[in-house]
Amino acid sequence: MTGRPAPWILGVDSGGSGLRLALARAGGDGSAAAPVPVGTAACDRPVRTGPAGIEAAHLLELVLPRARSLLSAAEPDAAGTTATGPRIDTVCVGAAGMATLGGELRAELPGAFARELGTRRVALAADAVTAYAGALGERPGAVVAAGTGMIATGTDLRSWRRADGWGHLLGDCGGGAWIGRAGLEAAMRAHDGRPGGSAALLARAEAVFGPVASLPGKLYPRTDRPAVLASFAPEVAGCADRDPVAARVVGEAAVHIAESAAAVCPGSEGSLVALTGGLLGIGEPLLAPLRRELAVRLPHARTVPAAGDPLAGALLLAGRLARDALRLPRDPALLHIG
């Protein structure tokens, strides 16, 4: 025993609304839980995406000063790299779009973190993977992340499986934008006098957006269209207890979410399912039918509360990697180790 403290690790969670960082000690007790942060930082500026994908230079511009500040606060006399070893041993970056837009990050971040922070190893993960690690750790199962969009990720600890997460034009079925769009379609049907309309949803749409005849002009030009659609999802859920059309929309969303979870969940007895994401905040109008659908489609699996969020998942991955104990499967696009 040398008496040296465990090495520092850094977790980064980068999403569409900004990024968060957490600094922790790797620990050496073999615990399956995520390391406890000694400091956190946040930035409300999202990392830019350019022609080559997510911009590595911009991510470093946002992360490095905050990482150094966290390290200086945690260990004032030892900031920076010293002859005794790396100051931040392992970094895990979880980023939205990593799987399809992370080529530049995979090419540049390991070397940049080594130069700037003395980092030995870097894990670059899709945000769905850090969400999985935060929710279930390194146990087999499936994690649904339902917010504006919807993606399900599963693993048997040998390989990863993914369902949906294809964006509001091609998928994200059951997510907030999907529910909001379906609710607004029902409002437009009521406005036109077509079958399938909902007077209740028409009233809520006009209360939120104004006259619905002007809604296309307000909605289609916006670059944040998925978020605008998702903003109407709570209105749909709020009408579900008294309006059959709204109840049908939310029920169909539950079916879609459960189908995606079933598509990725291992078939072995004892697999776990965790539900995460802001959409769950709309409560029982969605959760009650979702629990029923999961029980039908995944009778062998047990639904459990998510243990932590994607930032906790990034710390867990960094901590396990620092101890050469990572059990989650590596994948060129979803979990790249540099």
Helix (H) or strand (E) holding 212: none
Q: What is the pTM of this model?
A: 0.84
Nearest to 263 by CA among 326, 255, 124, 67: 255
Euclidean distance between CA atoms 96 and 98, whole angstroms: 6
- Residue 28 scores a pLDDT above 90: no
At residue 84, the pLDDT reads 45
For the record, the structure tokens of 109 come out as 């971040």
Answer with the residue of higher pLDDT: 83 or 94: 94
Q: What percent of the chain has pLDDT over 70?
A: 95
Nearest to 26 by CA among 6, 56, 44, 41: 6
| pLDDT confidence band for 233 (50 / 70 / 90) | very high
The 10s digit of each residue's pLDDT in 39-82 is 999 998 889 888 989 999 999 999 999 999 999 998 876 544 44
- Residue 140 scores a pLDDT above 90: yes
At residue 83, the pLDDT reads 44
DSSP assignment of 142-165: EEEEESSSEEEEEE-SS-EEEEE-
Residue position matching structure tokens 């090419």: 107
At residue 336, the pLDDT reads 95
At residue 31, the pLDDT reads 56
Euclidean distance between CA atoms 267 and 253, whole angstroms: 23
Question: Please, are residues 224 and 209 in contact by the beta-carbon 8 Å criterion?
Answer: no
